Structure 1
Amino acid sequence: MTDTDRLHGIHHVTAVAADPTENVAFYTDVLGLRLVKQTVNFDDVTTYHLYYGDETGTPGTAMTFFPFGGTRQGRVGKGMASATAFRAPDGSLPYWQDRLTESDADVTQPVERFGETVLPFRDPDGQPLELVFGDDPHDDGAVEPWSDGPVPAEHALRGFAGVTLLPTDPEATADVLATMGYEAGETVGDRTRYEVPDRAGVVDVLDRPDAPAARPGAGTVHHVAFRTPDSETELAWRETLLDAGQRVTEQKDRRYFQSIYYREPGGVLFEIATEEPGFTADEPVEELGSELQLPPWLADDREGIEANLPPLATDARAQLPDGGVAGEASGDTDPDDDRAGER
C-alpha cells in the first residue's frame, strides 16, 4: 500500500484552552509531555500556539492548544472530536489513577473497550482525554518520551492511541474515512472503530443522534490532523479529496509542517499535515520549547507580538492553580476561509 492509498494515523490534535500557564502546567507537570514549541496562532498573533509531545514532538504525539484567555467554556457535541486518547504502558493504570487524582483532574472509572483498558479524565478546561493501556500494535519505535520529564520512563505516555469523533452524520464521516484509507472494524453499541495499520491509527466514530450540538470554546477540540510524509504526497491527497467532493483549502505553510484542511460532512474539521520538517526547523532538540519562536514572515513584528501576549510560565514543575478557567470560543472555521486551520 502506497502513501497515497492511506494516511498514516494522527499527526496532531489541536484544542482550545483558556489560561496558557495553567495549560502548560497540566500538560507538562501532570501528563509529563514536553513543551516542544511555543509560537503564536499565525492568524491571530495575540494568541499562543503551544505544542506538547515526546522528546522531539514526533508526529503522532503532538497535542496543541490555542489558549484564548477569557474564552467561553465550550461544549462537546455533534460535529467535533469528543475525546483524545494517549497510549500508556501496560501495568501503569494504578500510577496514572493516583497521579491524575492527586492533580485534581476530573477522573472517572476505567472501562474496557475493544479489549483494552481505558481511563477517561478531563484537563482543567474540561477537555475530554483518555489513557489507553498497552502497546500500540503498530509501534514503529519512533516515540521517545521526554527524558527530562517528571513522569518515570516506565509510565511515560507514548503518543496518541487515537481520537473519538461525534459527527452529525456518521455514515458520511465513514465514507470520508474510507477515502482516507481507514478500514471499518468492530461496532460495539454506538461506537464503530476505524483503523489504519500505523501508529496512532485509531479513529472511533460515535452514532449518538440525541447528543447536543457542539459549541466551540475552552475544553473542546478545534481540529484533528492526519499525517502524510511530504508536501508532494499531501498535494496528491488534496486532489483525491477534491475528486471525492470535499472542499479543501490550498496548501498552507505552518512552519513545522505543510497543511491542508477540510470539514468532513459530519462537521469535524480535518487537517492533513506533513511529517517534514518538524519542530527542529528553528530550534535544536535540547532547546525545544524554551523560547517564543516566530516564522520568518512575522519576525519583524516580534516586539509588538511579544508585547501583546500574556505572560507565560513554562516551568514544568509549576503547581497547578486551583480550579479551571472557563470562558468565549474562537469563531468557527470554514475550509473556504483563508485562515482555515488556525482560527
Structure 2
Amino acid sequence: MTTKTNTHGIHHVTAIAGPAQRNLDFYTRVLGLRLVKKTVNFDDPGTYHFYFGDEAGSPGTILTFFPWEHVAPGRLGVGETQETVFRVPEGAVGYWTHRFVEKGVAHDAPARRFGESIVSFRDPDGMRLAIVGVPGIENEPAWTGGDVPAEFAIRGFHSVNLLLKDAAPTGAILTDVLGFTEIGREESLVRFKAGDTAIGGIVDIHVAGSFLPGRMGGGSVHHIAFRAADDAEELAMVKKLAENHGLHTTEQKDRNYFRSVYFREPGHVLFEIATDVPGFAIDEPLASLGQSLKLPPVYESRRSDIEKVLPEVA
C-alpha cells in the first residue's frame, strides 16, 4: 500500500505557449518528452491542451501547455513561477549542455544550487526551465521513444521555483496543507520537500521582496498542480485550507484524467490540487497515448467544428 507521504508533491505544471507545432517540436524532439495527451482547453475548446511527460504521464512528470498562435509574451515578476526544473542523471549534465548548443537553445552556464549541478535554459516562448543532475537515478525508467538516449533522458520534475515577495505565507500552505517541509535555505532561496517523494518533490521559493508583478503571456506558467491520492484526500486538503488559512477553492472540476480544485495562494500564484486517479490511460491505450485528439464527452458532438479551428500538427 502506498504511504501517504508518497502522494504529495507536484502533480503537473501548466504553462502558456505560442504556436502549437513549435511547442510540440521543442518538448518532444529537443527535450525528448512523450506527448501523452492531445486534447483541448476545457474552458476554451478552440485551443489545444498538450500534456508532455514520461511513458504513462505519471504524476510529477507532466508539463502541459495551452498554445495560442499569436499570444503576447509574458513578463516574469513577483507572484508567479520563475523556473520549472527537470531531473536528469548526474552524468547527463554535459550531454544536455552540448545538446542546447547543438539545437540553438538559449541557456546559461552550469551552476550549483543546493549542492547540485543545474543548467537553466529557455524554450522558444521564453519559458524559464532548467535541468538538475541528480545522483543515483540512472536506472529509473525513462521514455525512449524520442531522440534522447535513455541514459540521458529526463526523469520527471525536480522542482518548481516560485518568485515571491515573502516565503512565510506560501510556506505555511506548503507545510500545513500540501505535505511539504522546509529543508534548507541558500541565499534568497527557501527549499521545501514533500517527504520521500523523489519525482516532483521540491518547491523552492525565491524571496524577491518588492519587485514588479508578473504578467501572464507566452512563456508564463499558468498554474502548478499538487498531488492528492484521491477525492477524499483532496477534500481533506480543501477543508484544511478553509479552516486553518481562510482560503477557499473552486468547486471540484472533472478534467477527465484527474479531478481538480483551484485557489490563489497568499503569494498570488494559482495553485491546483489534482487527484492521481484515474490517469491518462482512461480513454486510450498506454501504447498509443497522445496520438489522437481526445475530447471530453461534453464536446464530442462538436468534434468536426473543433477540429476545423485547431491548427494542424504533426
Instruction: Bin the TM-score by the shorter chain.
Output: over 0.9
Q: CA deviation at 1:2?
A: 6.6
In the alignment, what sits opposite 1:306? 307
| CA distance in structure 2 between the aligned counterparts of 1:6 and 1:279, rounded to whole angstroms | 19
| CA distance in structure 1 between the aligned counterparts of 2:193 and 2:155, rounded to whole angstroms | 18
| CA distance in structure 1 between the aligned counterparts of 2:174 and 2:88, rounded to whole angstroms | 26
| CA distance in structure 2 between the aligned counterparts of 1:55 and 1:185, rounded to whole angstroms | 31
| CA distance in structure 1 between the aligned counterparts of 2:36 and 2:299, rounded to whole angstroms | 20
User: Is 1:169–1:265's contact at 8 Å kept on the other side of the alignment?
Assistant: no
Q: CA deviation at 1:186?
A: 1.5
User: Is 1:108–1:121's contact at 8 Å kept on the other side of the alignment?
Assistant: yes
Higher relative CO (CA 8 A, sep ≥ 6), structure 1 or 2? 1
In the alignment, what sits opposite 2:112? 112
Query: How many residues get paired?
Result: 309
Percent pairwise identity: 47
In the alignment, what sits opposite 1:318? none
| CA distance in structure 1 between the aligned counterparts of 2:84 and 2:228, rounded to whole angstroms | 20
In the alignment, what sits opposite 2:37? 37
User: Is 2:127–2:219's contact at 8 Å kept on the other side of the alignment?
Assistant: yes
Deviates more, 1:179-188 or 1:153-162: 179-188
In the alignment, what sits opposite 1:161? 158
In the alignment, what sits opposite 1:221? 221
In the alignment, what sits opposite 1:253? 254
| CA distance in structure 1 between the aligned counterparts of 2:141 and 2:51, rounded to whole angstroms | 16
* TM-score normalised over the length of structure 1: 0.86
In the alignment, what sits opposite 1:16? 16
Q: Which ranges of structure 1 fall in alignment gaps of 5 or more residues?
A: 314-343
Q: Deviations over 1:216-254 (max 9, x none)?
A: 000110000111111121112111111121121111100
Return the letter of the residue paired with 2:236: A
Q: CA deviation at 1:184?
A: 1.1
In the alignment, what sits opposite 2:181? 183
Q: For residues 154 and 239 of structure 1, do their structure 2 counterparts lie closer, same or farther at Cα, with a shift above 3 Å needed? A: same
In the alignment, what sits opposite 1:192? 190
User: Is 1:87–1:135's contact at 8 Å kept on the other side of the alignment?
Assistant: no
| CA distance in structure 2 between the aligned counterparts of 1:280 and 1:195, rounded to whole angstroms | 29
Deviates more, 1:83-92 or 1:233-242: 233-242
Give the 3-state SS of the residue equivalent to 1:117 in structure 2. strand
The yes-or-no answer on 1:263 pairing with 2:261 is no
| CA distance in structure 1 between the aligned counterparts of 2:302 and 2:136, rounded to whole angstroms | 43
Q: For residues 33 and 251 of structure 1, do their structure 2 counterparts lie closer, same or farther at Cα, with a shift above 3 Å needed? A: same
The yes-or-no answer on 1:146 pairing with 2:143 is yes
Q: Deviations over 1:53-94 (max 9, x none)?
A: 011111110000000210100011101111000000111111
Q: Which ranges of structure 2 fall in alignment gaps of 5 or more residues?
A: none
User: Is 1:7–1:226's contact at 8 Å kept on the other side of the alignment?
Assistant: no
In the alignment, what sits opposite 2:286? 285
The yes-or-no answer on 1:79 pairing with 2:76 is no
User: Is 2:9–2:179's contact at 8 Å kept on the other side of the alignment?
Assistant: no
Deviates more, 1:177-186 or 1:272-281: 177-186
| CA distance in structure 2 between the aligned counterparts of 1:34 and 1:163, rounded to whole angstroms | 20
| CA distance in structure 1 between the aligned counterparts of 2:309 and 2:229, rounded to whole angstroms | 35
User: Is 1:32–1:157's contact at 8 Å kept on the other side of the alignment?
Assistant: yes
Q: CA deviation at 1:135?
A: 3.9
In the alignment, what sits opposite 2:201? 201
Q: Deviations over 1:139-179 (max 9, x none)?
A: 9x9x6322322110000000000100012342211111122
Q: For residues 282 and 204 of structure 1, do their structure 2 counterparts lie closer, same or farther at Cα, with a shift above 3 Å needed? A: same
| CA distance in structure 1 between the aligned counterparts of 2:64 and 2:146, rounded to whole angstroms | 18
User: Is 2:19–2:67's contact at 8 Å kept on the other side of the alignment?
Assistant: yes
Give the 3-state SS of the residue equivalent to 1:35 in structure 2. strand
| CA distance in structure 1 between the aligned counterparts of 2:300 and 2:75, rounded to whole angstroms | 36
User: Is 1:6–1:182's contact at 8 Å kept on the other side of the alignment?
Assistant: no
Return the letter of the residue paired with 1:49: H
More helix by share: 2
User: Is 1:235–1:251's contact at 8 Å kept on the other side of the alignment?
Assistant: no
The yes-or-no answer on 1:56 pairing with 2:53 is no
The yes-or-no answer on 1:47 pairing with 2:44 is no
Deviates more, 1:5-14 or 1:74-83: 5-14
| CA distance in structure 2 between the aligned counterparts of 1:14 and 1:136, rounded to whole angstroms | 28
CA RMSD of aligned residues (A): 1.8
In the alignment, what sits opposite 1:172? 169
Give the 3-state SS of the residue equivalent to 2:214 in structure 1. coil
Q: CA deviation at 1:211?
A: 2.9
